[in-house]
Structure 1
Amino acid sequence: MDSNETTDTTGTIERETPTRRETITYGGAVALGGLLAGCIGGGDGDEGDSSADGATENGSTDDSSTDDDSEESQTEDDAEESYTASISPTGAVTFESPPETVFTRLTHHADMAFALGRGDDVTALHAPDYYDGLWNQYVERLPGVSLDWSGLYSSWEPDKEKLYDLDSDIHLADPAWVTQLEGWGREDIDEIAENVSPWFGNSLSDRHQEPTPEWADGYEYYGLWEQFEIVARAFDENERYEALAEVREGLLSTIDERLPPEEERPTAVMIAAADIEQIYAYTLSNPGFLTSHTRPLGPRDAFERSVKSGTVVDFETILEADPDVILYLGGMEPGTDMAGRRTAFEEDPVGSEVTAVRNDRVHPQGARYQGPILNLFQIEMTAKQLYPDEFGAWPRYEEGPYPEIPEGERLFDRGRVADGINGDL
């Protein structure tokens, strides 16, 4: 707890002195309840009120007002530097300065912070050691870029008092999802926003989940890069976003130019299994950012949408679908025995009959909750896994970092991505 906090008899934490983040204000129709009073309105670039001119009551000025003039001028300068960003479900938030420390819950937000040069400023995320290992498999291929999320607070079920301790400048997390957790209500969301820092995240866009009734009015869904652009505004990092978005546009253009006709595309399934006895199947083209790396590639769903995302399947179900390609989620994580996962299929009398297994087309994937950096790599790797004749073969991966793809077979420029992260624009 900070030295400027006290606890009243009801247990509510109050601040005796303002922090630099207490100037952050909310606006908009879906802004958090109770925080509209005194907010600064307007859209991006809102400069606030700059009408003060240092005049005396009779309209004249004299030397005695010099100090006051200086203070008012400074206030005007500060107002001119403020900016506003807006995201559903939070609404508009005005920032006096870019956030420096970042709370996240899910990795699509942590990756956004990383992409904007704030990877080392993240204070929390879900399963930090696991995702630190997974992300660094890809970061290995970005020259001059490093990332360390190990040992951070694991925020899958965040504790409110811990958010006070972390004292982050922004909470990149969806309040509509957080309030679904035990011990969190709308009043807790408002308390953290008022006493610590704003919420500024959207997670139900993952697969267009329905929010609870209290958040349903006006809730919007965003594509991954659409949300990344909005988050970049919150950090006043539009140039970084534009540099990375340009790389993505080039990657998608390459994909579109060389993608085979639909009837010539392979059938595929995406699965995950910590234990091969319990296999989860995931869809490839449903709305939401969880499929933002497979949807642009247009593979045919071997399950033909007969299996819902997250359904437990067995070898018999997979053989019935008989995919040409199996995409194995988590296969790139350092602790995953990818060779052992393939062997489990190959040694099973049913699994061994699957076309993807017989043709050695069981390939690793990274994570569904991907941010922009992981998305670039996953589009490239999945393109090679699905269409080796068009985009170059994907190496038979068993362990280690993302394979070193020959420069002529890369679908995006690693150096340009590294420059965007490092701010070398």
Structure 2
Amino acid sequence: MQNKDILDCCQRRREILKAGCSIVGGGIVAGCLGTTDDSSSDDTTPTSPSGEESMTEADDPTPYEVTVKPAGTHTFDSVPETYASFPGAWMDIAMALGIKPSAMMSLEEEQLKYYKALPDVAVDLGSVETLLDSNDSEFDKEVFYEVDADVHLMDPRILKRYSGWNDDDLEEIEHNVGPILGSMIRFPYERDPYYTLYEAVEKAAKIFQRQERYDAWVDLKDEVFAEIQSRLPDDKPTVGAFIIDFDIEGKSLRAAEIDAFRNDTRTFRKLGVNSAFKGDTYVRYKEIGYEKLLDVDPEYIALIDNLTTENNESFQQTLQAAKNHETLSELTAVQNENFVRSAGTNMGPIIDLFSVEAVAMQLYPDEFGEWPGSVGDVPTEHQLFDRQRVADIINGRV
């Protein structure tokens, strides 16, 4: 299909949306493409990840504005029902509000383990479009036209960086397809911290008009963290956190400042640990050599995002490699096997709870129980949050 035909189809679809008609196939009008912590507003429709439809409380909403820095402000004439995103926090945020992705830059089965550990919640990879064929492929604007997402939950700076597009390209997609509204919250980007996790959730709740679910999430996370924090010992360990990977052979490791304004170290801040690497809170990470690491010698070494991207077997291989390493084997954390895995890159409200549960068990097994190695294998008696309650919020039963 040519770009003009796709554009005409997209415009017709949006006219249908404004008229209040339904969407076929969770996102595309049949026949078009040959495929089927403040916010105010009521909970609205799209189909939840479990396949259930929530109650519609605003069938004909008044146009409303949402501002997401640094993307800008967009006026919605109707509530968006589909979105495209990078694999990251914004997908988990939307999932927490009951909206599964229509398209992602890429999506791996391993990233879905958290949803599989919940009752009545699922993401079928077969129904999710991919915007890139592979990590080596180029960004094709025509794919964005074909996907025809109502909104793109992406930081425009990140999209420009990876696509090579300019501002005119972004404006074209926004004008002809849908707004680009997102913000990098994993760590500071270009020295511009914008939102905490729940500030971003609040923005998404405004975009999708799902205030009730946002309020329910706030209540739940406040209760869960208050309970966990009430059980923590007074003497907190010192943790050296590393992002991306723990490159044992590279002789230079990427350390993260836990206390910085960033989402990927949120788990450790909530657990009150002491950061081994105090420094500039606006730095994404800093290179730490073996000598510096031995000098600091933290009680624990944390592998951020390992909980999401790796399984327990590969994690154990990393630990064993460190134990066999001539230099790293001298570290206290290695000798005591004090390596911990947390989530990070993809951490929205759902993954946030799984991450803090996993790390609490790894740091304090006497208090919270032995960590079994997988989020899906935590015994019911040791679970630190109610899986059914999470599923109920996702599915609109609030």
Given the two structures, how large is their TM-score scaled by the length of structure 1? 0.73
* CA gap 1:309/1:417 in 2 versus in 1, 3 angstroms: same
1:24-39 equivalences under 5 Å are: none
Query: What is residue 274 of structure 2 aligned with on the other side?
Result: 300
SS of 1:118's partner is coil
Provide the C-alpha distance between the structure 2 equivalents of 1:295 and 1:171, rounded to a whole number of angstroms: 30
- Whether 2:247 is the aligned partner of 1:268: answer no
How many residue pairs get aligned? The number is: 352
Choose the corresponding residue for 1:128, options 92, 98, 107.
107
Displacement of 1:123 after TM fit?
Answer: 0.7
Alignment partner of 1:94 is 2:75: yes
What is the letter of the counterpart of residue 65 of structure 2? T
Match of 2:350 in 1: 373
What do residues 187-218 of structure 1 show as CA deviations (whole Å, max 9, x unaligned)? Answer: 11111111001112111x3323237xxxxxxx
Q: Amino acid of the residue matched to residue 147 of structure 1?
A: V
For 1:352 and 1:364, how far apart are their aligned partners in 2? 19
Match of 1:114, as an amino acid?
Answer: M
Alignment of 1:21-420 (within 5 A): 21=14, 80-119=61-100, 121-125=101-105, 127-129=106-108, 132-136=109-113, 138-149=114-125, 152-154=129-131, 158-181=139-162, 183-203=164-184, 205-210=185-190, 221-261=194-234, 264-271=235-242, 272-273=244-245, 275-278=247-250, 279-305=253-279, 309-332=284-307, 333-334=309-310, 337-390=314-367, 392-395=368-371, 397=373, 401-420=374-393
Gaps of 5+ in 2: 19-38, 43-57
Q: Tell me if structure 2 keeps the 8 A contact 1:135–1:374.
A: no
Distance 1:251 1:153 in 2: 34
The 1-side partners of 2:61 and 2:319 are apart by: 59
**Distance in 2, Cα, partners of 1:198 & 1:404:** 40
8 Å CA contact 2:61, 2:78 repeated in 1: no
The alpha carbon displacement at 1:99 in A equals: 1.9
Q: Which amino acid aligns with 1:286?
A: A
Name stretches of at least 5 consecutive residues in structure 1 with no aligned partner.
8-12, 26-42, 47-76, 212-218
Instruction: Report the residue type matching 2:122 in the other structure.
Output: S
User: Does the 8 Å CA contact 1:174/1:202 hold for their aligned counterparts?
Assistant: yes
Question: Aligned partner of 2:190: which letter?
Answer: E
Provide Cα deviations, 1:296-318, integer angstroms capped at 9, x if missing partner: 22211223439964334454433
Find the aligned partners of 2:9 and 2:80 in 1 and give their Cα distance: 22
User: CA contact under 8 A between 1:117 and 1:421: conserved in structure 2?
Assistant: yes
Percent of pairs with identical residues: 32
Q: Displacement of 1:355 after TM fit? A: 1.4
2:4 matches 1:6: yes
Paired residues of 1:24 and 1:95 also in contact (CA < 8 A): no
1:282 alignment partner AA: A
In the TM superposition, residue 220 of structure 1 has moved relative to its aligned partner by: 7.1
Distance 1:122 1:314, change over 3 A: farther
TM-score, length-scaled by structure 2: 0.77
- How many Å apart are 1:294 and its aligned residue? 1.8
Q: 1:422 to 1:45 in 2, by over 3 A?
A: closer
Q: Name the SS of the counterpart of 2:103 in structure 1.
A: strand
State the 1:45 CA deviation: 6.0
1:44 touches 1:84 (CA, 8 Å); kept in 2?
Answer: no
Q: RMSD of aligned C-alpha atoms?
A: 3.2
Change (3 A) 1:387 1:6: same
